[in-house]
């Protein structure tokens, strides 16, 4: 017997790791396809889908290819699809966002008709894809984002997206009072059935880089006057309190892996579902590291998603949603 042998009866946690079947039986957290939401991009000017250089495997879609990819995602069992639209023309106020014939609203209707009975159709509610300056709101005479004027535009956008058939509206602009403005507009129009997803803690992150390519962002400068400072954690709980008081049905923490501490605190405090968004830079790091042979791709993807569940996320927006849903279905 080794001098370092454990005494009889000593704790041996390794017993619960001895085989795949045992590990599966005692697993504290599990991924399900229904936990995953797939963000998708539709670009009005395209005649065929275009793969993004910064996000291998992710495409800007035509309306037809978007519907086809949405059907594949629904077939895999994803819980939802979050739609982003890129118009052919932009203006200073983002008027294409509430145009019933605008690309995003047409996409909502088309995807809803194709898969709306099998998965939840969601829409990004923000002006950055639609404005010529790339900010998430309208600008005042000094070139600053006008918070309250932007709320009026968000209300118009909410009504247009609800009319197109969106079940969940993702309020990603980070304007003060955005949840209250949208909830009031929906309720006043008799659309109290539409779900409001508040982007409660959305940080001014360096990891959004590839997303700028995905939406052909026109932004010059940054969004630090309205997105949260990465140095601040307690601020997220204040934002949570405000979003809940304004009527948010679901709350969000974004980005994901760099903010798991914030996600855990929000999840512990929230009486409503908490989601998180595994953003473009997180996706790109894994994809390019795997291509370089530095990591094993699918185990790294699954490990990153389990981290969200462990931190308290009820659902995860991820560009791997359809692929992982298929992987989970094969592994059952």
Q: Which of 43, 90, 202, 223 is catalytic?
A: 202
Residue 12 lies in a domain: no
- Pinpoint the alpha helices (H) of the chain: 20-25, 63-76, 103-115, 147-164, 178-188, 209-214, 234-246, 260-269, 280-291, 297-311, 321-331
**Is residue 9 in some structural domain?**
no
CA distance 262 to 257: 10
In a domain, 2, yes or no: no
Ramachandran region, residue 58 (left: φ > 0; alpha: ψ -120 to 50; beta: rest)? beta
Indicate whether 7 belongs to any domain.
Answer: no
Domain holding 326, by residue range, is: 31-331
What does the pLDDT read at residue 332? 64
CATH number for the domain that contains residue 38? 3.20.20.70
Rounded to the nearest 10 degrees, what angle do helices 297-311 and 321-331 cross at? 100
In-domain check, residue 14: no
**Per annotation, catalytic residue among 61, 106, 254, 309:** 254
26 lies in some domain:
no
Query: Does residue 94 sit within a domain?
Result: yes
Mark residue 227 as left, alpha or beta (left: phi above 0; alpha: psi -120 to 50; beta: remaining).
beta
Q: What is the CA radius of gyration of the chain?
A: 21
Q: Is 309 a catalytic residue?
A: no
Contacting residues for 291 by C-beta, under 8 A, at least 6 apart: 56
The pLDDT tens digits of the residues spanning 27-74 come to 989 999 999 999 999 999 999 999 999 999 999 999 999 999 999 999
DSSP, residue by residue, 185-205? HHHHTT-TTSEEEEEEEEB--
What is the structure's pLDDT at 219? Answer: 76
Neighbours of 81 (CB within 10 A): 29
* Gap between the Cα atoms of 43 and 46, Å rounded: 6
User: What is the distance between the alpha carbons of residues 276 and 199, in angstroms, rounded to a whole number?
Assistant: 9
Kindly state the percentage of the chain with pLDDT values over 90.
87
- Catalytic status, residue 202: yes
DSSP 62-109: -HHHHHHHHHHHHHHT-SEEEEEEE-S--BTT-GGGT-TTSHHHHHHH
Q: Look at residue 15 and tell me if it is in a domain.
A: no
Residues of the chain with pLDDT under 70: 1-2, 332
Domain count, the chain: 1
Instruction: Please state whether the predicted TM-score (pTM) of the whole model is above 0.75.
Output: yes
């Amino acid at each position: 017997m080794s001098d370092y042998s454990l005494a009889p009866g000593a704790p041996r946690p390794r017993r619960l790791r001895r085989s795949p079947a045992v590990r599966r039986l005692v697993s504290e957290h599990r991924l399900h396809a229904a936990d995953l939401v797939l963000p998708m991009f539709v670009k009005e000017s395209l005649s065929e889908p275009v793969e993004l250089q910064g996000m291998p495997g992710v495409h800007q879609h035509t309306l037809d290819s978007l519907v086809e990819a949405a059907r594949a995602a629904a077939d895999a069992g994803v819980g939802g699809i979050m739609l982003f639209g890129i118009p052919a023309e932009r203006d200073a106020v983002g008027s294409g966002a509430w145009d019933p014939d605008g690309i995003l609203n047409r996409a909502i209707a088309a995807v809803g008709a194709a898969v709306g009975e099998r998965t939840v159709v969601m829409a990004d509610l923000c002006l950055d894809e639609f404005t010529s300056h790339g900010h998430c709101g309208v600008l005042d005479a000094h070139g600053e984002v006008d918070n309250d004027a932007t709320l009026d535009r968000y209300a118009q956008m909410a009504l247009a997206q609800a009319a197109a058939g969106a079940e969940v509206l993702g309020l990603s602009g980070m304007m003060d009072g955005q949840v209250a403005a949208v909830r009031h507009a929906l309720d006043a129009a008799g659309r109290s059935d539409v779900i409001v997803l508040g982007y409660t803690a959305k940080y001014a992150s360096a990891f959004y880089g590839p997303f700028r390519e995905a939406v052909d962002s026109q932004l010059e400068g940054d969004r630090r006057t309205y997105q949260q400072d990465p140095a601040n954690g307690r601020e997220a709980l204040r934002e949570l309190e405000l979003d809940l008081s304004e009527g948010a049905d679901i709350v969000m923490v974004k980005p994901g892996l760099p903010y798991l501490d914030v996600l855990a605190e929000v999840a512990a405090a929230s009486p409503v579902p908490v989601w998180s968004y595994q953003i473009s830079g997180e996706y790109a790091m894994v994809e390019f590291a795997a291509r370089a042979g530095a990591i094993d791709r699918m185990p790294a993807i699954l490990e990153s998603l389990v981290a969200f569940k462990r931190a308290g996320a009820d659902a995860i927006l991820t560009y791997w949603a359809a692929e992982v849903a298929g992987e989970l279905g094969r592994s059952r």
